[in-house]
Amino acid sequence: MLLRKILMGLSVGFALGAAALVQAQERITLDDGTVLNVFIVAPTTGTAPHPLVILMGGGPGNATISADTSRWLGSGFAARGWYVAVPISPDNRSFRGPASNALIASLIGTLEKREEVAAGKVLLAGVSNGGMSALEIARRDPDRYLGVAAVPAISTGRTKNDSLKGFSVYLRIGGDDQLGWADNFNETVESLTSAGVDLDAEILEGAPHMFRMDWSTLGPWLEKRLATRP
């Protein structure tokens, strides 16, 4: 309920000042026949083909949360030329765990067949549980991805991040996080940097668990990732 209220506030606040965006929910059939419901946010700038970002919402990753995430954060990516896909968790458990991780990998393979989507590495992004999912998916096959924007996510000293050596992660956690994630910031940074992750991490002072994106720092980070994209 807390996550839903925060998302609603962010979504309404963003809508008041944002330009219209093209958002649609699609039923996408994966190669194994699985059907995944996905919010697609079309880029509002640039020319096709566009780089792809898989953006995962927080909490259970259900339809309501995914729709809100596609509006308040997905629209920011779309305004910067990204083709945005926000998948809805089929079991209300986000995209954590091997089976759910595999769904995202399969979704990427399906979307890459679209002429609007550029060939090459894909960006993973996620909010809260979605950020944790993004890091989990990246650990399985880091060479496939441009990086992870986790806003927020946490990692512990027990997490095996060795596969992410040299991998780029953008991490932000609110200083007034209602779930106490700010208390895990130092452990998260140590967990990632000790594995050799190329980490851009900050605490956002006064910010709650869900916060407005600081595009003045995320924008340049994205541009650097695109510059390395084959």
Residue type, 169: V
- Is the model's pLDDT at 218 over the cut of 70? yes
- Segment 170-180 mean pLDDT: 97
**Alpha-carbon span 85 to 117, nearest angstrom:** 11
Tell me the pLDDT tens digit for each residue of 180-193. 999 999 999 999 99
Q: Of 7-11, 30-34, 107-111, 167-171, where does mean pLDDT reach its minimum?
A: 7-11
For the entire predicted model, the pTM comes to: 0.91
Q: What is the dihedral of CA 97, 101, 103, 107, to 10 degrees?
A: 160
State the CB neighbour count (10 A cutoff) for residue 216: 7
Q: Of 17-31, 56-70, 182-196, where does mean pLDDT reach its minimum?
A: 17-31
The DSSP line for 195-209 is TT-EEEEEEETT--S
- Is the model's pLDDT at 96 over the cut of 80? yes
- Is the model's pLDDT at 175 over the cut of 60? yes
Contact residues for 144 (Cβ-Cβ < 8 A; gap 6+): 105, 108, 121, 122
- Is the model's pLDDT at 22 over the cut of 80? no
Contact residues for 38 (Cβ-Cβ < 8 A; gap 6+): 25, 26, 28, 85, 86, 87, 88, 107
- Segment 91-100 mean pLDDT: 93
Q: Where are the beta strands (DSSP E) in 145-227?
A: 145-150, 168-174, 198-204
Looking up tokens 């209602």, which residue turns up?
178
- Is the model's pLDDT at 142 over the cut of 70? yes
Q: Which domains does the chain have, with CATH numbers?
A: 2-227 (3.40.50.1820)
- Segment 94-114 mean pLDDT: 96
> Phi then psi for 160, rounded to 5 degrees?
-90, 95
pLDDT value at residue 8: 43
- Is the model's pLDDT at 229 over the cut of 90? no
101 vs 228, more confident: 101
Question: What does the block give as tokens for 99?
Answer: 């089976």
pLDDT value at residue 155: 97
- Segment 59-69 mean pLDDT: 96
- Segment 194-215 mean pLDDT: 97
State the CB neighbour count (10 A cutoff) for residue 226: 17
- What does pLDDT average to over the chain? 91
34 vs 18, more confident: 34
